[in-house]
Amino acid sequence: MKKKNLAALLCVAAFAVCACESKTLFTAAEKNNVAQARRLIKSGADVNAMDEDGMTALMYAAQNNATDVAALPKAAGAED
């Protein structure tokens, strides 16, 4: 029973980290912060994650003319 609880806790923690990285990736895309976006993608941020409005990092980059950052999610396999 303890192993199942630990496994569940680890899954929740991993999801929380990924969700946080994706949200931060939205901010990096919005601000055209190439270094931060590159670091987040390298550490496993989901380039196809959507926020509560259905926006992805690529959409934030496009909306803010952040062309330098927009190339990063695309290169990492982000969908249009």
Spell out the domain ranges in the chain. Answer: 2-75
Q: Which CATH superfamily groups domain 2-75?
A: Ankyrin repeat-containing domain (1.25.40.20)
| pLDDT tens figures, 12-71 | 434 434 445 556 899 999 889 999 999 999 998 898 999 899 999 989 999 999 889 988
Q: Are 61 and 73 in contact (CB under 8 A)?
A: yes
- Distance (Å, whole) CA 29 – CA 49: 13
Question: Is 62:29 a contact under the CB 8 Å cutoff?
Answer: no
Q: What is the pLDDT of residue 23?
A: 67
Does the pTM surpass 0.75? The reply is no
